[in-house]
Amino acid sequence: MGLAHEVKKRTRAAIAPFLLILMVAYFGVSFVQGDRGLLAWIRLNDEIAVANADLGELRAERRRMEHRTQLLRPDALDLDMLDERARALLGFSHKDEIVVYVPSIN
């Protein structure tokens, strides 16, 4: 009876540290791989960097488009720009003109 009692006593004494180790391991894994863990944080920072790069490109394109739009306003109408847009949209040219198409850079 002494041996069984000793095993039972040591088993009960080992349960609390074992549960504590399991709990620390669970939270450790969640800290690294969870939905809001370190790996998710790194992925989110990478996505933010890509989105900021895209935002920079879109802002540059918007500035370019605003500038072109500004040239077509009635108070500052650029006749060359108006002629260029009319020819591009309507496909018109004079008989004595040579039309050279250049691929757009986008």
Taking the chain (106 residues) in runs of 10, the rounded mean pLDDT of each run is 84 91 93 90 96 97 90 77 79 77 75
Measured distance CA(36)–CA(44) in Å, rounded: 10
- Cα separation, 24 vs 32, whole angstroms: 12
Write down the pLDDT at residue 26: 93
| pLDDT, position 80 | 80
Q: What is the pLDDT of residue 48?
A: 97
Task: Give whole-number Cα distances, 96 to 1, 89, 92, in Å.
Answer: 116, 19, 12
